[in-house]
């Protein structure tokens, strides 16, 4: 793997391209292209079903439309790939179920094993992000001097893809009075319940969730994705890009305020 990283740097490719998570999932998904050529040509999968389209074309077309929307909501390809794999796997299961229950079962088992065993590698660049858990989350809630921006994530919901964005923000704006933290609520589920964050692994648009804390309390209207009083996500979805996060959480202004407060304290 280290050799591949060296080759990628020479070729100008990002290191995440050689992440085993990316390579193995991509090969498994591409295996369908080989498997389908061994299906019976008279299969229901290849017969015209609706408006002249086969079932395979209907499933594939729906998948491509959904992926197109998700692509424009992603910060990078590294963040988009987990979504790509999830939709591709669902499409494969639907198509193989039409053709062969046995093949569908084998794919289902394979996908399940990959889900539990293989996770996307995190961004390893130096950063100022504090790793939180149920034991030390009190450092956020008891902090009366600092502002905290906390990322609530799970390993199965694109955490690694977003980590590079969050790490970069921490490096640019992080200080003694403006801190960045992250907590895996897949492991520490009591925090997910406390802050009303869904842990559903299917079609979950709440992960990652970003919440701003000041003097230990959640700041009103400083949470993404935005939730209404009824607990449902609002339709005005904010794409989690660096620019949008800087603007939404007013990081430029908060960083200046934090620097001024620290300078005043040190006088």
Per residue of the chain (267 residues), give pLDDT as tens.
444 444 444 444 566 677 788 899 999 999 999 998 887 766 666 676 767 788 888 899 999 998 988 887 776 777 788 889 989 999 999 999 988 889 999 999 999 999 888 776 666 677 899 999 999 999 999 999 999 999 999 877 766 668 888 999 999 999 999 999 999 998 899 999 999 998 876 666 788 899 999 999 999 889 998 887 777 777 666 778 889 999 999 999 999 999 998 888 777
pTM above 0.75, yes or no: no
Residue 23 near residue 15, CB atoms below 8 Å: no
d(CA 253, CA 249): 9
Structure tokens at 259: 């620097």
Give, for 32, the enclosing helix (H) or strand (E).
Answer: helix 20-36
């Amino acid at each position: 793997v280290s050799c591949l990283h060296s080759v990628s740097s020479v070729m100008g490719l990002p290191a995440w391209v050689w992440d085993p998570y990316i390579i193995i999932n991509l090969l498994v998904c591409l295996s369908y292209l080989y498997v389908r050529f061994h299906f019976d040509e008279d299969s229901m999968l290849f017969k015209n079903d609706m408006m002249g389209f086969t079932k395979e074309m209907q499933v594939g077309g729906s998948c491509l439309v959904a992926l197109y929307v998700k692509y424009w909501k992603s910060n990078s390809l590294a963040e988009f790939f987990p979504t790509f794999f999830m939709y591709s796997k669902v499409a494969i299961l639907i198509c193989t179920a039409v053709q062969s229950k046995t093949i569908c079962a084998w794919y289902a088992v394979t996908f399940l094993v990959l889900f539990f065993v293989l996770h996307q590698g995190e961004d390893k660049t130096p950063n100022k992000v504090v790793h939180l858990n149920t034991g030390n989350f009190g450092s956020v809630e008891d902090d009366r001097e600092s502002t905290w921006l906390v990322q609530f994530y799970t390993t199965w919901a694109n955490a690694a893809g977003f980590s590079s964005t969050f790490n970069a923000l921490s490096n640019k704006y992080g200080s003694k009075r403006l801190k960045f933290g992250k907590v895996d609520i897949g492991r520490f589920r009591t925090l997910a319940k406390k802050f009303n964050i869904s842990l559903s692994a299917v079609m979950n648009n709440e992960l990652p969730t970003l919440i701003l804390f000041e003097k230990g309390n959640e700041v009103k209207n400083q949470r993404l994705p935005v939730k209404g009083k009824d607990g449902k996500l609002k339709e005005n979805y904010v794409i989690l890009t660096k620019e949008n996060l800087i603007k939404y959480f007013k990081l430029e202004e908060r960083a200046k305020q934090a620097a001024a407060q620290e300078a005043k304290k040190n006088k």
